[in-house]
Amino acid sequence: MMAVGFQDVSKHYRERPAVTEFTLQVQPEERLVLLGPSGCGKTTVLRLLAGLGTPDRGQIDINGEVVAKDGRNLKGPEERNLGMVFQDLALWPHLTVRGNLEFGLKAQRVPAAERQKRVCETLELMQLQSYAEAWPAGLSGGQQQRVALARALVLQPRLLLMDEPLSSLDFELNLQLRHELLRLQGELGFTLIYVTHNLEEAFAIATCVAVMKAGRIARIGAVAPIRAHFEELLRRTAAMAPEQAVPGAFLLSGPACPP
Amino acid sequence: MLTGQRITLTATVVLLLVIGVAPILAMITASVMIDGKPSLVHYQALVSSRRAWALLGHSLTLSSLTALCGTVLGVLLGILLGKTDLPLRNLFVILFTLPLLLPPYLLAVAWSAALGREGWLSDLTGESRAAMSSDWLFGLPGCVLVLTTVFMPVAMLLTITYLKTVAPRLEEAGRLVARWPRVLSGITLPLIRPGLAWAALLIFLLAIGEFSVPMYLRYDVFPVEILTQFSAFYDFGAATAAAVPLALLTVALLVVEGRFLSPPRVRGFLGETEGSVIRLGAAHIGWLFGVGLLCVVLVIVPLGGLVLQAALADYVDALSRAGDSLFHSLLYAAIGATLLTLLGFFCGYLIHTHALRAWRWVDFLTLLLLVLPAPVIGMGLISLWNRSATDWIYGTPTMILLGYLAQYLALTSRTTAATLAQISASMDEAAAVTGAGWFRRLSMITVPLARPGLLAAWLVSYIFCLRDTGIAMLVYPPGHDTLPVRIFTLMANSPEGLVAALCVLMMTATCLPLAPLGLVMKRWSRVP
């Protein structure tokens, strides 16, 4: 059973196509990175998967269950058992760290004792025990990232979506949180779909990379062949005269790798 | 800071003090003086008067109930019209806002024409029920109904505005784990709670100063005491003393609100995403029916009834008897709105840029003057300008314009400040590095970019000047009464058809600028 399946999914914003006949399959416990330039439709794919947007056409499955089909969402976002970390983190400023974690558990009517246990465990997992009563605005950037991740994981989702969550961090913190993410994924075994435009970040996290361009998958495959392809293109671009080089062209040129 | 900027903004602050603060201080001084000597006799008489306490109790009851009903209804409608995909949302917003744009007593007249003993709705229900509905209308419940209809749009419009300032991601993060009702109660509404508290307080303050509706529906309230002392007993000292408690109550509530709730300032709209709009789905028909029914009951039935009640002959009669008042209304509202936009621009500029340390006071004072009961401002203006040395002002329509400037300045200053907040600071900075002076930057960069917002400020202040009753009633010079004042004085002893025709004329004069207002708002949302 696939963890995620997209079949010929299309989505337009007004007249502009965001995703066109998009097809993708993600295996359970896989770490898929959606890579591509700004505006190529990466975030739209995540939002359609989360139920925050409605596809115009096509079908979306999560864990073998159809969640969207023929221009309709069959399951609301809260029914899809997934967690999401937004680019701007979207921590609720009027709730403490504990409040941020408890909100979803309360909404799903988890009993108080079980709720406390899960919040404590997740805070411990993310090394945030001493910040339970802190307000998000009082935390550092790295701590806020951890809270956002903790909030997504406290519901024990089988699928975690991350939309460029580390893009605003400095290199050192970015590196540290990448390692933590890999550790958590290894421990908890969720399927990860991660959006970025950063090649290095993509290759460090992914088990599978999908390169997107203009709302479609231009190339998909394991990390090694995709990395080799990009390195070759970078070498070629470096050898070109400046007037010949087209920015971003290397993302699409060359033969497609086998999926 | 540049000299030209400092001089202009300082002059603006001084003008605000002369127009808004000096009258209030003059009124307070007048209330503690008798024959040139300090005395608290008026206050002693007020405090020992059982009637005054009873009236104050009535006022507090009426304004509390209005604030409660208006806020609950306004927030619900604000969510439905500002957050969902309900069909005809914009039309409903306009229809529900209509009563706020009209003189409040006009709704009371309209309900009286429908539910009074000889009202057209009462004719359908029989004599005994007509008596019952009339008894219900002429009293506290009727006042609450009318004032809720009039002031509810304040809560509705503020809710719609503040909902747009909530980052869509915060709600989407909630939607991943919870349904919309829980997201609204746990995330959205708590985030805009200061705005909702501000809406409730604003309705309370607007209702406590309102006298025309309780007067018409025969429910005695405190502001009526001011008018009674002034126009029935000619006791100016007692009238000013009666106005002071309302002024103090307003100041106290604003201070408490500012200290504990810090009213949010709209710094820009974050827009909406597909995931932050509530899809009503199949339930939209039920909601549409419910909102439509509410709109029919609160707005269309009373105002539509008024339109139907007037015959063609009544309109001819109305124009012949109040044509000059209509002309005065349109003229003074246009001049008032122009002056308000000009002064409001500099106040708004000061509030937005914090260019002088006095900006907080300017913001507070304009807001205070907006929510001060109109009779208080009217009494203040009379206290300050009714002297032989200033008779050249007191005996002219300038008094009406001064009243408009004092009461409605916050409308234009806040609209300007919100408009300027939408314009990137780098626009002005880019002009400054080219060597352009402050006035040149203002006229060539800031004003053209803020033009749609300024036009909106003009239209909003025009409508509020046009609907004004409280100030004009106290300060208009002989032969210069405005249409709302003329209707108010005529409605007690004139045929119903004539009163209805006058009210329809008033509605038409108010509604005509709404179409350009709508266009301006559309353009305003596109300002960078």
User: Mind listing the pLDDT tens digit for each residue in B165-190?
Assistant: 888 999 999 999 999 999 999 999 99
**Is B270 an 8 Å CB contact of chain A?**
no
Nearest to B178 among A78, A82, A151 (CB): A78
Give B441-460 as a DSSP string.
HIIIIIHHHHHHHHHHHHHH
**Is B172 an 8 Å CB contact of chain A?**
yes
Nearest-neighbour CA in chain A from B44: distance (Å): 48
**Is B271 an 8 Å CB contact of chain A?**
no
Bridging pattern class, strands A31-35 and A208-213: parallel
**Burial profile B105-132: b = 16 or more Cβ within 10 angstroms, e = fewer:** bbbbbbbbbbbbeebbbbeeeeeeebee
Q: Residue A151: name the closest of A191, A105, A87 by CA.
A: A105
- B29 pLDDT exceeds 70? yes
Nearest to B191 among A53, A94, A107 (CB): A94
Nearest-neighbour CA in chain A from B229: distance (Å): 49
How high is the pLDDT of residue A259? Answer: 36
Nearest to B274 among A52, A84, A104 (CB): A52
Do A52 and B173 make contact, defined as CB atoms within 8 angstroms? no
Nearest to A86 among B173, B177, B274 (CB): B173
Interface test with B, best of A12, A44, A46, A52 (most B CBs within 10 A): A52
Could you tell me how many CB contacts below 8 A there are between chain A and chain B? Answer: 72
Tokens 């990137």 belong to B424
Q: Decide: residue B330, CB within 10 A, 0-12 exposed, 13-18 middle, 19+ buried.
A: middle
Do A92 and B187 make contact, defined as CB atoms within 8 angstroms? yes
Region of poorest pLDDT, from A33-42, B137-146, B251-260, B437-446: B251-260
Global ipTM: 0.81
| Residues A148, B99: Cα–Cα separation, whole Å | 46
Helix boundaries (H) for B386-482: 391-394, 398-421, 425-433, 438-441, 447-467, 470-475
Q: Which two tokens stand for residue B417?
A: 């400040």
Backbone angles phi, psi at A21, to 5 degrees: 40, 55
Do A77 and B176 make contact, defined as CB atoms within 8 angstroms? yes
Q: Say how many Å lie between the first and final Cα of chain A, rounded.
A: 18
Nearest-neighbour CA in chain B from A153: distance (Å): 12
Average pLDDT, chain B: 87
- B139 pLDDT exceeds 70? yes
3-state secondary structure of A69: strand
How high is the pLDDT of residue B204? Answer: 93
**Single-letter amino acid code for the residue at B345:** F
Do A53 and B174 make contact, defined as CB atoms within 8 angstroms? no
How high is the pLDDT of residue A258? Answer: 38
| Residues B304, B98: Cα–Cα separation, whole Å | 12
What does the pLDDT profile of chain A (259 residues) look like in tens digits?
A: 789 999 999 999 877 899 999 999 999 999 999 998 888 999 999 999 999 999 999 999 999 999 999 899 999 999 999 999 998 899 999 999 999 999 999 988 999 999 999 999 999 988 899 999 999 999 998 899 999 999 999 999 999 999 988 877 778 888 888 888 899 899 889 999 999 988 888 999 999 999 999 899 999 999 899 988 888 888 887 777 655 555 554 454 433 333 3
Report pTM: 0.83
A52 to chain B: closest CA residue:
B275
Residues from A in contact with B at Cβ < 8 Å: 47, 50-54, 76-78, 80, 82-84, 86, 88, 90, 92-94, 103-104, 106-108, 151, 155
How high is the pLDDT of residue B269? Answer: 56
Do B169 and A93 make contact, defined as CB atoms within 8 angstroms? no
Contacts of A84 in chain B (CB under 8 A): 173, 176
Nearest to B173 among A82, A90, A108 (CB): A90
Nearest to A53 among B174, B178, B274 (CB): B274
Do A52 and B186 make contact, defined as CB atoms within 8 angstroms? no
Interface test with B, best of A19, A82, A85, A92 (most B CBs within 10 A): A92
Nearest to B176 among A84, A93, A106 (CB): A84
Interface test with A, best of B177, B179, B187, B274 (most A CBs within 10 A): B177
How high is the pLDDT of residue A47? Answer: 93
Do A52 and B275 make contact, defined as CB atoms within 8 angstroms? yes
Do B275 and A47 make contact, defined as CB atoms within 8 angstroms? yes
Q: Averaged over B410-429, what is the pLDDT?
A: 87
3-state secondary structure of B233: coil
| Residues B152, B72: Cα–Cα separation, whole Å | 9
Contacts of A162 in chain B (CB under 8 A): none
Q: Averaged over B5-14, what is the pLDDT?
A: 94
Contacts of B273 in chain A (CB under 8 A): 52-53
- B340 pLDDT exceeds 90? yes
Do B167 and A82 make contact, defined as CB atoms within 8 angstroms? no
Do B167 and A50 make contact, defined as CB atoms within 8 angstroms? no
Do B275 and A83 make contact, defined as CB atoms within 8 angstroms? no
pLDDT band at B520 (very low <50, low <70, confident <90, very high): low
Nearest-neighbour CA in chain B from A219: distance (Å): 29
Q: Which two tokens stand for residue B277?
A: 């709009």
Half-sphere exposure in the Cβ direction for A215 (13 Å, CA): 14
Partners of residue A35 on adjacent β-strands? A196, A211
Q: Residue B222: name the closest of B397, B453, B62 by CA.
A: B62
**Is B186 an 8 Å CB contact of chain A?**
yes
